């Protein structure tokens, strides 16, 4: 018999609840946080947000969208970016590689 070993070690289920999700009438402002301005190959997250925006408009009636791009992939978003996204009902963070 083969035993699969998780490289993270023993995994324990989280006991915390997920964040509250707004219902169809609750989300009015969505933010997009792209992990890097551009990369040399593969799809880019920025154009993909247009498809997501259309889906949010159609399905949830969202009217307002904010976009932020981290200057460096491996570093966290800076405080000013997080402050601008703080008023959003939800934030989609992506890379699309």
- pTM: predicted TM-score of the whole model, two decimal places: 0.69
pLDDT of amino acid 35: 83
The residues near 35 (Cβ < 8 Å, ≥ 6 apart) are: 45, 70, 73, 93, 94, 95
Residue 22 lies inside a defined structural domain of this protein: no
pLDDT of amino acid 95: 74
Residue 59 lies inside a defined structural domain of this protein: yes
Q: Give yes or no for a contact between 91 and 30, defined as CB atoms under 8 angstroms apart.
A: yes
- Of 51, 50, 36, 54, the C-alpha closest to 95 is 36
pLDDT of amino acid 22: 63
Q: What is the mean pLDDT of each run of 10 residues along the chain (97 residues)?
A: 76 75 73 78 76 90 91 85 92 79
The residues near 63 (Cβ < 8 Å, ≥ 6 apart) are: 28, 29, 57
pLDDT of amino acid 54: 94
Residue 15 lies inside a defined structural domain of this protein: no
Domain count, the chain: 1
Residue 47 lies inside a defined structural domain of this protein: yes
Residue 3 lies inside a defined structural domain of this protein: no
**What is the domain range of residue 90?**
29-94
């Amino acid at each position: 018999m083969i035993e699969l070993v998780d490289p993270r070690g023993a995994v324990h289920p989280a006991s915390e609840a997920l964040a509250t999700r707004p219902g169809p009438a609750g989300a009015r402002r969505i933010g997009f946080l792209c992990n890097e301005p551009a990369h040399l190959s593969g799809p880019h997250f920025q154009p993909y947000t247009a498809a997501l925006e259309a889906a949010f408009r159609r399905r949830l009636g969202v009217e307002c969208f904010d976009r932020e791009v981290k200057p460096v992939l491996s570093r966290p978003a800076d405080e000013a970016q997080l402050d601008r996204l703080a008023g959003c009902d939800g934030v989609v963070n992506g890379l699309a590689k």
